[in-house]
């Protein structure tokens, strides 16, 4: 009987504000419901996302705070404007003493669905994820907004451009807002957030920008380990989350993530920009190491082939062999890199090899030393290409 009564109270099939035809209920909670609706006044009848404020609690303080939070969500999404990072606010209205919020519906899938397989992500995938979400945090933080519920289910990958969009600002905090004074009064404290992604200071109703950074760091750990962080333990000595032994990634990336999820928020990165700079510095270091590796392997290749009449023939055979194995483009690329980054004698040697590649017609002698060395040279090229 109760279930039938609740079903009859839903808005499915009803027309709201003479414009939004409700077609499906999505969620139902203590303070309201969410629906999908068609905008019938639009020529293409696009699908919209509708929130209805409908508290079920009898606690007057909670109702007051929930109503303020609902109004604040509308204010926050409106202030953020038409950003590619969040859904657009389409309308707010009241009808029959109930309040509604209508947002753009993001067609896509959640990050949670990408993690549901339990597969461990590669290091470059995790870095790319961080570099996608951090600008979103950078954007909302610049508007004085703390999301307070960063988690995989609140990040949607839009289908048309495969970019991540942050949704659900229902518990977001607006800095220097009157609601915080109500929330943090001595008699009442309302804790908001999701266990596992919520840092200790947020659990004590003292969230900060670092709270969102912590939650994103937790997501990074979940992608690398393939497990829910609620299943991980804390180090009894440091009181920090213990996860490094489960992954095979660089110590630099581990250090960056550990700083993101540090229990003491004073020791965390203080802004999303700081994390982005740390990742950029790490990637620049990787590029420098790769550049050195390219130079070292190229120099060794030149040193192994002294220029004399006999070795010139062997070098010609080597180059022709590389050509037959489709390595000419790689040699040309290495020649350009080395010519810029090294002294001219080495660069001259590289371009000498390129000249040989384009001008020799000799068939390689399988028994020659150069042909025997070709396999090892090819392995070096493959390794360089793989690392790149």
Q: Closest Cα to residue 207, out of 147, 267, 158?
A: 147
Residues 233 and 111 in one domain: yes
Q: Closest Cα to residue 106, out of 204, 39, 36, 56?
A: 36
Over 90: is that where the pLDDT of 15 sits? yes
Comparing 177 with 225, the larger pLDDT belongs to 225
Out of 56-70, 269-283, 348-362, give the one with best mean pLDDT.
Answer: 269-283
Separation of alpha carbons 355 and 299, rounded Å? 17
* DSSP class per residue in 242-271: E-GGG----HHHHHHHHHHT-SSGGGS-SS
In a domain, 6, yes or no: yes
Residues 366 and 258 in one domain: no
Range of the domain at 122: 107-270
Residues 32 and 168 in one domain: no
Dihedral angle over CA of 342, 344, 349, 355, nearest 10? 110
Tell me which of 142-151, 159-168, 295-304 is least confident. Answer: 295-304
Comparing 91 with 331, the larger pLDDT belongs to 91
3-state SS class at 75: helix
pTM of the model: 0.72
Residues 210 and 100 in one domain: no
pLDDT tens readout for residues 340-351: 555 555 556 655
Residues 131 and 97 in one domain: no
In a domain, 225, yes or no: yes
In a domain, 19, yes or no: yes
In a domain, 279, yes or no: no
Q: Where a domain ends, among 54, 83, 105? A: 105
Q: Where a domain ends, among 105, 138, 162? A: 105
Over 60: is that where the pLDDT of 314 sits? no
Backbone angles phi, psi at 220, to 5 degrees: -60, -40
The residues annotated with a catalytic role in the active site are 149
CATH number of the domain where residue 101 is located = 3.30.200.20
CATH number of the domain where residue 215 is located = 1.10.510.10
Residues 129 and 263 in one domain: yes
In a domain, 276, yes or no: no
In a domain, 184, yes or no: yes
pLDDT of residue 289: 77
Average pLDDT over residues 357-376: 42
Q: Where a domain ends, among 47, 76, 105? A: 105
Comparing 4 with 91, the larger pLDDT belongs to 91
Residues 6+ apart with CB under 8 A from 63: 55, 57
pLDDT tens readout for residues 275-300: 999 999 999 988 887 777 777 677 66
Look at the chain and report how many structural domains it folds into.
Answer: 3
Residues 75 and 149 in one domain: no
In a domain, 280, yes or no: no
Residues 90 and 140 in one domain: no
pLDDT tens readout for residues 81-132: 888 999 999 999 998 888 999 999 999 999 999 999 889 999 999 999 999 9
Residues 153 and 100 in one domain: no
Residues 233 and 116 in one domain: yes
110 C-beta neighbours (distance < 10 Å), count: 18
Average pLDDT over residues 125-141: 97
Backbone angles phi, psi at 147, to 5 degrees: -70, -45
Over 50: is that where the pLDDT of 164 sits? yes
pLDDT of residue 370: 34
Residues 6+ apart with CB under 8 A from 243: 221, 224, 225, 229, 232
Query: What would the two tokens of residue 284 be?
Result: 């620049």
Residues 232 and 301 in one domain: no
Residues 356 and 249 in one domain: no
Burial profile 163-195: b = 16 or more Cβ within 10 angstroms, e = fewer: ebbbbbbbbbbbeebebeeebeeeeeebebbbe
The count of C-alpha atoms lying within 13 angstroms of the C-alpha of 388, restricted to the half-sphere facing its C-beta, is 13
210 C-beta neighbours (distance < 10 Å), count: 24
Secondary structure in 3-state letters for 300-362: HHHHCCCCCHHHHHHHHHHHHHHHHCCCHHHHHHHHHHHHHHCCHHHHHHHHHHHHHHHHCCC
In a domain, 354, yes or no: yes
């Amino acid at each position: 009987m109760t279930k039938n009564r609740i079903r009859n109270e839903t808005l499915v099939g009803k027309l709201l504000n003479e414009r939004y035809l409700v077609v499906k209920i999505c969620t139902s909670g203590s303070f309201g419901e969410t629906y999908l609706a068609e905008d019938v006044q639009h020529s293409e009848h696009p699908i919209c996302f509708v929130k209805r404020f409908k508290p079920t609690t009898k606690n007057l303080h909670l109702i007051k705070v929930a109503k303020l939070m609902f109004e604040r969500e509308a204010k926050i999404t409106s202030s953020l404007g038409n950003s590619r990072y969040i859904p657009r606010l389409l309308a707010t209205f009241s009808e029959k003493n109930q309040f509604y919020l209508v947002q753009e519906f993001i067609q896509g899938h959640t990050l949670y669905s990408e993690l549901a397989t339990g597969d461990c992500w590669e290091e470059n995938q995790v870095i790319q994820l961080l570099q996608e979400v951090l600008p979103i945090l950078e954007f909302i933080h610049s508007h004085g907004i703390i999301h307070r519920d960063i988690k995989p289910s609140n990040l949607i990958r839009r289908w048309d451009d495969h970019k991540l969009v942050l949704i659900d600002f229902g518990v977001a905090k607006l800095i220097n807002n009157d609601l915080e004074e109500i929330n943090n009064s001595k008699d009442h404290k309302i804790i908001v957030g999701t266990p596992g992604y919520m840092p200790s200071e947020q659990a004590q109703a003292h969230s900060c920008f670092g709270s969102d950074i912590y939650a994103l760091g937790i997501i990074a750990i979940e992608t690398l380990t393939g497990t829910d962080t609620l299943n991980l333990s804390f180090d009894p000595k440091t009181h920090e989350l213990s996860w490094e032994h489960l992954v095979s990634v660089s110590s630099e990336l581990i250090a960056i993530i550990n700083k993101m999820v540090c229990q003491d928020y004073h020791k965390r990165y203080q802004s999303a920009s700081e994390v982005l700079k740390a990742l950029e510095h790490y990637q620049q270091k990787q590029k420098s190491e790769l550049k050195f590796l390219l130079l070292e392997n190229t120099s060794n290749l030149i040193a192994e082939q002294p220029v004399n009449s006999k070795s010139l023939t062997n070098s010609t055979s080597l180059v022709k062999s590389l050509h037959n194995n489709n390595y000419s483009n790689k040699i040309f690329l290495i020649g350009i890199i080395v010519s810029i980054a090294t002294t001219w004698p080495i660069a001259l040697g590289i371009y000498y090899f390129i000249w040989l590649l384009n001008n020799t017609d000799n068939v390689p002698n399988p028994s020659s030393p150069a042909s025997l060395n070709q396999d090892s040279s090819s392995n070096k090229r493959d390794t360089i290409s793989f690392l790149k």
